Copies of this chain bind each other. A is one copy, B any other.
Amino acid sequence: MARVAVIHFADRVAEAVERKRSQVVVGLDPVVDLLPVELRGEVVLGRDHAAAACERFCRAIIDAVAPYAVAVKPQAAFFEALGADGMRALEAVCAYARAAELLVILDAKRGDVGSTARAYAAAYVEPRGDAPALADAITVNPYLGRDALEPFLAACRRDGAGLFCLVKTSNAGGADVQDVRLSDGTLMWQHVAALVGGWGEDLVGEGGLSAVGAVVGATFPREVAEARRMLPQAVLLLPGVGAQGGDPANLAPAFTSGPASALVSASRSIIYAYRNVTDDWRGAAGGATARLAHDVWKASAW
């Protein structure tokens, strides 16, 4: 096995947060049409060139943001949209991020039954032969219940993997299911939060945080605060700042379990920060990450 000593995922997060004084996760959502002109040139030649351009873009973004971010969060969909070449790019980008000492949180929102769940866990959060796991952690969907997440929980236990389970998503439409009121008066997302707490309670690291975290949209600060109260041991992953409108200043309550108890994720507002502003896309991404890291760190230290 490649990981000589298995360090608990939440402890790896805490180490990175303290070392960098940052809780920022940079989402990697490569979209060909949004790439800098210098990278877009050959894309007309086909999907393999598109994947290569996206890979070059992500590598450069990783170099630019590495001093200010604790993790990158590649969004699987954008790589899958480029076919097999895109998946090869995803593998390369994840390896590059790890080499840059960034944690890798694969945003894949998987969830499936039995042997299928085992295949997803093997694909993304288990060591692959002599090679390390593709990602340190993965986002998962709770709709299929605990048994569908069991292979991922096993990877947390055995391989030091991390999970972030969807609880309250950042989009307005999530209310269709997540805000439905239950017979006991609570809402569905609160029920799921309670499940997530149970799934993670025997997976707590030395720092007191669990390998099973929760995704809560930064677009809903009241729900963020409530999820924090319900899940004192979970690392909260908070997407939705920047392009989706969430404000870091409202996220202070997320950090009452410590500086590493929440991670703030931004994607387009960082990686495409250059657009309509400057040709220096690397500098713009680095600057946007540094500013967000500063704002979040300030909010976390209340």
CB within 8 Å of B: which A182-202 residues: 182-183, 185, 188, 191-192, 195
Q: Enumerate A131-185 residues with CB–CB distance to B below 8 Å.
A: 141-148, 166, 169-178, 180-183, 185
Q: Of A7-15, A85-93, A248-256, A287-295, which binds chain B?
A: A85-93
Kindly report which residue of chain B lies nearest to residue A176, judged by CB atoms. B145
- Count residues of chain A with CB under 8 A from any CB of chain B: 59
A77 contacts chain B at the CB level, 8 A cutoff:
yes
Interface residues of A in 93-130 (CB under 8 A from B): 107, 109-117, 119-120, 122-124, 128
B177 pairs with A192, CB closer than 8 A: yes
**Cβ contact within 8 Å between A78 and B145:** no
Q: Do residues A145 and B77 form an inter-chain contact, with CB atoms below 8 A?
A: no
Instruction: Kindly state whether residue A80 has any CB partner on chain B within 8 Å.
Output: yes
Shortest A205–chain B CB gap in Å is: 25
A83 interface hit (Cβ, 8 Å): yes
In the complex, A88→B85 CA distance in Å?
8
Q: Are B182 and A114 in contact (CB under 8 A)?
A: no
Q: Is the CB of B84 within 8 A of A84?
A: yes
CB–CB B166/A116 < 8 A: no
A75 located at the interface, meaning its Cβ lies under 8 Å from any Cβ of chain B in the complex: yes
Q: Are A173 and B146 in contact (CB under 8 A)?
A: yes
A31 on the B face (CB < 8 A): yes
A145/B120 contact (C-beta < 8 A), A31-B115, A181-B183 known: no
Contacts of A86 in B (CB 8 A): 87
Query: How close is A29's CB to chain B, nearest CB, in angstroms?
Result: 7
Q: Is the beta-carbon distance between B116 and A77 smaller than 8 angstroms?
A: yes
30 contacts between A and B (CB under 8 A): A31-B119, A77-B112, A77-B117, A80-B120, A81-B122, A83-B88, A83-B123, A83-B128, A84-B85, A87-B87, A109-B141, A113-B171, A114-B171, A115-B268, A142-B143, A142-B177, A143-B143, A143-B169, A143-B177, A144-B166, A144-B173, A145-B169, A145-B171, A145-B177, A145-B178, A148-B169, A148-B173, A177-B188, A180-B188, A188-B188
